[in-house]
Structures are given as structure tokens and as C-alpha cells.
A = this chain, B = another copy of it.
Amino acid sequence: MSTTATANLPVLYSYFRSSCSWRVRVALKLKKIDHEIRYINLLKNEQRSEEYLKISPFGFVPAFVDNRNGKTLIESVSIMEYLDETYPEFPLLPKDPQDRATVRALVQAVAMDIQPVTNLRVLRYLEEDKRSAWSKHWSEEGFKAIESLLVKSAKTFSVGDSLTMADIVLVPQVYNAVRFGVDMSVYPTVSRLYRELSELPEFHEAHPSRQGDCPPELR
């Protein structure tokens, strides 16, 4: 666990390849919240160290420490909702309740229906030769559903013309799906959004390959 202390900034505990960490990295950049990143190496099980479990009792990344009150927040969607409620710049949810519900449904579709079933801890629990087919299956089921919703809701972004949490969670999940060997061309709206969002500086800078804990051979 790298703990280079700096000025009194909010702290994000992150792992370069964690899609949930990536979500919060983007949210912090969109909201222009200056912060320090501390790296937790999931492959070395640093998330299970006594020191880290005091920060996040769940032993997951990300965790976020708010420097305004010293409180620690956990679980990526909860952190994004908190950031949105307490840092008004660059709202991550639309104003209309119906649109907010569509954004949150898309967030759930990624954050509950795909990510938890295909993340590192679940894959490690499966026999090694079954992991790839498992990840592909659930990614394909999930993106099929997401595409069917995006066809109706997307304009410039996933829901209308403002960037929201739905866009934030989409990019890391597509990146993972491509790693799992999913053919994303059958989800044209998802693919178009992924391509366009990836070019935005906030997503670009939050990319795993641009993190301080990314091994040189993966940059």
C-alpha cells in the first residue's frame, strides 16, 4: 500500500485495473476535485491488509476519504452519489426524475448485472479454464440488455445530451468486455458511446494504462 502523504487533499484508494476505481477516478476529474491517489495492489491482496481493512471494512477498492470531514466512503456508486450531492460542479445526474431513473437503471445494469458477476474475486473462485467463457457469457447478456435501453435513451451521451453516471460506468465495463474477448460490434450504441467517451480527457487520464500503479509492460 503506497501512502505518500501530501497536502490535506481528499484521498482515493485505487487499483489501476479495478473498473470500480476507474468510475470514481472519472467522477473526480469531471468535478475537478483535486485529490491524492493511493494504490492498493489487488494481486498482492493489499485490500485484505489489517491497515486497509480499517479504511474499508469490505476490503474492496475504491475508498474515498473526504478531507472536509475526514469521513471515509466506500462502494463506487455510493461514492459517486455522494460526490454529486456534495460537490455541485458538473452534475452526474439529470434533473428530471424519469431521466435520473434511466441513468440509475443503466448504472445498475452495469454495476449489478455485469460487474459483480465478472470481477476478479468471482473469477478467482471459478476453475481457471471456465473463467473466460463465464465472463463472456455475462458480459454479452448484460450488454444486450444495455444496448436495448440505450437505443431509446442515448443522444450525445447515454441519456440525452449530458454526461452522467451511466456514461462513467459504461466505459470501464466495455474495456473489460473487450479484454474478455466479447465482440462489441453487435452493440452499436454501446460501441459508439465507448469510442466517443474514451476520447474525452477525463476518461483518457483515468484509464488503467495511465495510472501510477500500472506496470510498465501494460502501458
Contacts and interface: CB of A to CB of B under 8 A. Distances in A.
Nearest to A115: B112
Contacts of A149: 57-58
Interface of A: 57-60, 69, 71, 73-79, 81-82, 85-86, 97-98, 100-101, 104-105, 107-109, 111-113, 115-117, 122, 125, 134, 137, 145, 148-149
19 contacts: A57-B149, A58-B145, A58-B149, A75-B104, A75-B108, A75-B109, A78-B101, A78-B105, A78-B107, A79-B101, A81-B100, A82-B97, A82-B98, A82-B101, A85-B97, A86-B97, A112-B112, A112-B116, A125-B137
Nearest to A151: B57
Contacts of A81: 100-101, 104
B82 A112 contact: no
Given A73-B101, A81-B100, 10 more contacts: A57-B149, A58-B109, A58-B113, A58-B148, A78-B101, A78-B105, A85-B100, A86-B97, A112-B112, A117-B117
Contacts of A113: 58, 60, 116
Nearest to A81: B104
How often does this chain occur in the complex, in copies? 2
B57 A148 contact: yes
The main secondary structure of chain A at its interface with chain B is helix
B105 A73 contact: yes
B145 A77 contact: no
The 4 closest A-B pairs by CB, nearest first: A78-B104, A57-B148, A75-B108, A82-B101
Contacts of A74: 105
Nearest to A59: B145
A108 B57 CA distance: 14
B104 A77 contact: yes
A112 B100 CA distance: 19
A112 B77 contact: yes
A109 B116 CA distance: 10
B77 A108 contact: yes
